[in-house]
Amino acid sequence: MQALILAGGEGTRLRPLTLTMPKPAIQLVDRPFLRFVIDWLATHGVDDVIVASGFGAEELQTALGDGGEGGPSISYITEDEPLGTGGPLHLAFDEGALEERFLVLNGDVLTDLDLGELVRAHESTGAVATLALYRVEDPTAYGLVRRTSGGEVLEFLEKPDPAAIDTDEVSAGAYVMERQVIDLIAPGRTVSIEREVFPRLVGRGLYGHGLSGYWIICRRAGTSLRDELRRARGLASMGPARSWRRRASILARRWRRRRSSSVRWLRPLRRRSARAR
């Protein structure tokens, strides 16, 4: 099966790490960040990966190469200008790279969700597109997806009023799509899948399927020690190689013993400002 990974953003929320290096190429434990995503895809039988790159495209290609022996092949499409989350799909289509059915993945998510289950759900409903959905502890911090008991998407709720929340499912950034979705994407311009394409598919074959497992969005550097620990534990559970699983566990223990530099600096500042008041 084929997968398109959206990895063209500048990673502004991870600066200064991303000032000279694209976020997907940043080393995490023992490999580039995006390699974890590709290895996860490989465990679900994906043999053809297309990476949609933009900022730092050459550095990303150098970091990932064209695939390894026994792993999926990796090819690249490059955005001359940012095309959002939808534009790269049309770009890949224009270059003749897309199959009739393919996966689309956000390139900033670490997860072990079962893609095989997602594909089977997609096939069982005859959907045009199927979103992987994930239940979150705090639904007020996300855009939510409301669906029927049969999975058909009814509505997208963009960080609604807490009183109006009746679901805790969010889009997990993994989709199965039929190629006809491309018809809804204008070529050569910035398009958002989430805000422009999916809402137009409501009532026209858009489904969601709930999955469970490890899932975390990696968008900010040092947001909290708890997130960093969760990330390390997730890495330790995601792949087959004992060597890097062991290194991830060691890294988690080190994080428990010392705070990240951002936490060390932020807490004294808070205490001083409280005394000043």
What type of residue is 112?
D
Please say if 23 is a catalytic residue: no
Helices (H) and strands (E) in the chain, counts: 8, 13
CA-CA-CA-CA dihedral for 78, 84, 89, 94, to nearest 10: -50
Would you state the structure tokens that stand for residue 19, as one six-digit string?
A: 């000032």
Name the active-site residue from 58, 73, 123, 159.
159
Rounded-to-5 percentages of helix, strand, coil across the chain: 40, 25, 35
- Secondary structure class of 270 (helix, strand, coil): helix
Neighbour tally for 225: CB within 10 Å: 15
Say how far apart CA 210 and CA 169 lie, in whole Å. 8
Q: Which of 126, 128, 143, 124 is nearest to 206 (CA)?
A: 128
Name the residues annotated as catalytic. 159
